[in-house]
Chains A and B, each alone.
Chain A
Amino acid sequence: MGIRAETTDEIKLDTGSNYRQNIPVGVKLIKLNKSFGNNQVLRDLDLEVNPGETLVVIGKTGSGKSVLLRHIIGLEEPDSGEILINGMDVNDPEVRKKHRFAMVFQSSALFNSLTVADNISLYLREHRLFDDESTISQIVSHTLSIVGLEGKENNMPSELSGGMKKRVAIARAIAMNPDLILVDEPTSELDPMMARTIGDAILNLRKHVEVTQIVVTHDIDLAYYIADRIAVLDEGQIIEVGAPQEIDRSTNPLVRKFITTQFEREEGGTRL
């Protein structure tokens, strides 16, 4: 079942509509390669994401994290390799018929000419999933409550802070009732408190929707906070995958370097 029972009752989705229940999907990437010109971004990348889990991909800037997400959602074609969704090729039309994928972009990618409510309900309206406005309004209100933005329906994106925009983008993704949500750098350009709020929104999402999530970030604190498993990406390859505790105990020098890097003054060794 997709949206949990109490939620489903609350927004009364059992009205014979096309808002079908979601099925968390498994994702498997096999020997994925991608180059832009002479720059090879992904190198024989292998990764498996289990249905219903939150996998966080961490890595330094430019390591290919966003490109990886764009491949999974179908915005980029790999030079070679396979992307399987529940064992079927991602480009198989059946996959798109059976499953819905949503992506939260680094820039939020909200439509500036539409209100928050219209942004969230865009998918529902364009695919004509509901005839009555009241159901759409209920879904919009519900998804906004999941991300802690109650009452912001009529605001324009230009009236929102960066963190609020990210949360609206998450709400827009939830409204699609997806089987897979991809989140690109959810805390970039945000202060630590807002980053925590976003982390809470992603965690809160799991209480309400059964969905597979792949989050890419260079924010190691966020990764530990929200992940079931963490994958470390370096130079276009996954160098380590495991539960947060396993990553924390990793002896791989590249992993250790990434997770322990902090600002230090040379003279005193004090954390800034």
Chain B
Amino acid sequence: MNSITAFFYTTGEILQLLMESIFWCKAALSNREKIFRQMLEIGNQTLPVAALISLFIGGVLALQSGPTLAQFGIEENIGGIVGLSFVKELGPVMASVLVAGRIGSAMAAELGSMSVYQEIDALKTMDINPVRFLVMPRFIACFIALPLLVIYMDVIGWFGGAVVSSVNSDINVPFSVYYRNLSELVDFSDVLNGLAKATVFGIIISTVCCYVGLKTKGGPREIGTSVTRAVVLSFILILVFDYFITRLLILLNLD
């Protein structure tokens, strides 16, 4: 199989896994405990780190743009700039990269290990569909948890920007001015744009990482390789789809 055929073959298989995951969402209610456990896992693994990185990214955004705005005397717009940057771009992308790195890698490792040690085969012999049992709960958990994580990171990122804007003497914008400008410039539709991206990224991460995990063959070395492949592929697809979703939202006048 040459590389072009392999690309289309893999793409087809990933899409097939996505369709199967969507199909098995009908069993979500009876698997709610598994879904909830996966969501808790996502929360446990990401919330502290997400808070830390969004706080500092918000601060850096303010630090980079604040002094320039101050030179033109329009530093009171800093709240809107940080707010829009976060909700439309940085929040969803950073949250997705974080989830891909921490949760997607764990998914690929766990499913890869189950594949190598015949646990997936054992499920099949018990007439338990691996997609329903393993993939669907992760799929729904990512689908729900990633947008929630984005909201969490948006709020903390705004706060990081507000702190730097008020403390830094070159910017010197008080909290009240910062948040007033933010609320004037950031619409609910902007927040929804970011959440739409996060939802798509959640689907990408869960599907790609589960696919790579399930396809793992060999031994411990191959599990490691699968983890790397899953994370790198997720990163690439997140950034590629980020562009196309943004373009689509602009075309639809939703941006």
Question: What residues of B have a CB within 8 angstroms of the CB of A73 in the complex?
Answer: 125
Chain A interface residue count, CB cutoff 8 Å, equals 20
Interchain nearest-CB distance for B241 vs A (Å): 31
* Chief secondary structure at chain A's binding surface: loop
Is the C-beta of B128 less than 8 angstroms from some C-beta in chain A? Answer: yes
In the bound complex, what is the Cα–Cα distance between A123 and B118 (angstroms)? 16
Tell whether A42 is near chain B: CB-to-CB under 8 Å: no
Q: B residues within 8 A CB of A18?
A: none
CB within 8 Å for A122 and B126 given contacts A75-B121, A109-B117? yes
Contact A75 B124 (CB under 8 A): yes
Chain A residues numbered 89-136 whose CB sits less than 8 Å from any CB in chain B: 96, 101-103, 105-107, 109-112, 122-123, 126-127
Does B184 reach chain A (CB closer than 8 Å)? Answer: no
Chain B residues with Cβ below 8 Å from A107 are 117-118
Indicate whether A84 reaches chain B with its CB closer than 8 angstroms: no
> What is the size category of the interface that chain B forms with chain A?
10 to 19
Listed residue (A74, A105, A127) with the most chain B CB atoms within 10 angstroms of its CB: A105
* Number of A-B residue pairs having CB atoms within 8 Å of each other in the complex: 41
A109 touches B126 (CB 8 A): no
For residue A255, CB closer than 8 A to chain B, the reply is: no
In chain B, positions 132-163 with a C-beta closer than 8 Å to chain A are 133
Which residue of chain B lies nearest to A119 when distances are taken between CB atoms in the complex? B122
Q: Are A102 and B125 in contact (CB under 8 A)?
A: yes
Residues from chain A with Cβ under 8 Å of B122 in the complex: 103, 105, 109, 111
CB distance A123 to B128 under 8 Å?
A: yes
A176 in contact (CB, < 8 A): yes
Q: How far is the CA of A111 from the CA of B119 in the complex (A)?
A: 7
Bound: A57/B125 CA distance, A: 20
A-contacting residues, B54-78, CB 8 Å:
none
- Please name all residues of chain A whose beta carbon is closer than 8 Å to the beta carbon of B119 when the two chains form the complex: 109-112
The docked-state distance in angstroms from the alpha carbon of A96 to that of B128 is 13
Contacts A110-B119, A122-B126 supplied; 4 other A-B pairs, CB < 8 Å = A102-B125, A102-B126, A103-B121, A105-B122
A-B contact pairs, 8 of them (CB 8 A): A74-B125, A75-B124, A105-B118, A107-B117, A107-B118, A109-B117, A123-B127, A126-B133
5 closest cross-chain pairs (CB), A and B: A109-B122, A109-B118, A103-B125, A105-B118, A123-B126
